Amino acid sequence: MRTEYDFSKAARKALIPTQGKTRISIFIDNAVLEAFRARGDAAGTGYQTMMNDVLKQFLSAAERPVTETSLRQILKEVLPQPVKQKTMRASAITQKRVSR
């Protein structure tokens, strides 16, 4: 064993690189984390795997083009319903004109 080692060219990274995944630190609300842990336990999978799947679904949904059906659904949710006006029958209009 050497008495002194040279770490001047060392890099801080994982010793064994992982394929396709990166370790990060993230702040998540406690309620969200507890809900994912409970759902993961119920489904028999890990909560981190479940969170990753949900994020993938969100990204794929965000990239889908807007179709006529989805646009109609969005507009139905966003726009207020039109107010239907009462229509007068022809006999009521005639009576209204006669009474003048």
In DSSP notation, the chain reads --S----TT---S-SS--SS---------HHHHHHHHHHHHHHTS-HHHHHHHHHHHHHHHHHSPPPHHHHHHHHHHHSPPPPPPPPPPHHHHHHHHHH-
Whole-number Å distance between alpha carbons of 27 and 33: 10
Give pLDDT tens digits along the chain (100 positions).
778 888 888 888 777 777 888 888 999 999 999 999 999 999 999 999 999 999 998 888 777 787 888 888 888 888 877 777 776 666 666 666 666 6
Token code pair at residue 45: 């999978």
Structure tokens at 97: 């004109």
**Domain-by-domain residue ranges, the chain?**
27-65
